[in-house]
A and B are shown apart, each in its own frame.
Chain A
């Protein structure tokens, strides 16, 4: 099954790495969307069907926490799972994001194996 994937990161390099990592992890991609911040990501989700979102936290304009807060307020986070990919190491902040409905967390730099295991888990929960 192919999935529509949205990658949200202000770094074009990181977005390119994630696209390549998706390929290495053999995750079947339907449509691939990219956004440079949380605001752009919300705009994409308004007009396109997205199966899973990979989002950074530290971004200009609208950061990942603000984006997650809006998705939690509107209830969108229940139907569109979010996996945070960040350098964030604060358990306090990560717990706050999980409480808002974030489904997974990967700390940069990420390995394809760990990436695949988290994506498989999140998507299998979504299908179930």
Chain B
């Protein structure tokens, strides 16, 4: 994966989470997260088709999903409303990240078709997809919780 692409994605993730949910993320290294220990983790993915085809995934623990939903909705993390929207909030964050990333990377003239974000098992994150040409992962920490973002460029 080109470092320039990952650099753009890193910046977009931080900006979107700040604008969407007032979450300030710090980049982390891969050693800070053990993907095999991700038990209470929510993972969402979506694909994009256009000048380049690919797939974007985000994984975060339930606690961070609750904070994300609460901040987006103007609620508290322990409120029922936040619990009801926890996974959907992660999907919406992915949706916004994907849209911004594609525009930042390929420009405003490029047209992409995006799939709707879906939930997937956290184990999917560590799999290499059949059509993958290259892939890269970013690791973040926000309010003491981890988040993993994975991009796969496909044939």
Contacts and interface: CB of A to CB of B under 8 A. Distances in A.
Task: Specify whether A and B are partners.
Answer: yes
Interface of A: 10-14, 16-17, 20, 58-60, 86-93, 107-109
B73 A13 contact: yes
Q: Closest 8 CB pairs between A and B?
A: A87-B99, A89-B103, A109-B20, A13-B88, A91-B108, A13-B85, A58-B114, A60-B116
Nearest to A108: B96
Interface string B113-126: 01110000000000
Interface in B7-53: 16, 19-20
A92 B91 CA distance: 25
18 contacts: A12-B85, A12-B88, A13-B69, A13-B73, A13-B92, A16-B73, A20-B73, A60-B116, A86-B99, A87-B98, A87-B99, A89-B99, A89-B103, A90-B108, A90-B109, A90-B111, A91-B109, A92-B108
Interface residues of B, number: 29
Interface of B is mostly: helix
Contacts of A13: 69, 72-73, 85, 88-89, 91-92
A12 B115 CA distance: 17
Contact of A87 (B74, B89, B100, B115): B100
A101 B132 CA distance: 39
A20 B71 CA distance: 13
A17 B72 contact: yes
A11 B116 CA distance: 10
Contacts of B112: 90
Contacts of A60: 116
Contact of B96 (A90, A93, A109): A109
A13 B20 CA distance: 12
Nearest to B108: A91
B109 A92 contact: yes
Contacts of A58: 95, 114-116
- Of listed B69, B111, B116, residue having the most chain A CB within 10 A: B116
B67 interface: no
Given A17-B72, A58-B114, A109-B19, A89 B108 contact: yes
Contacts of A92: 108-111
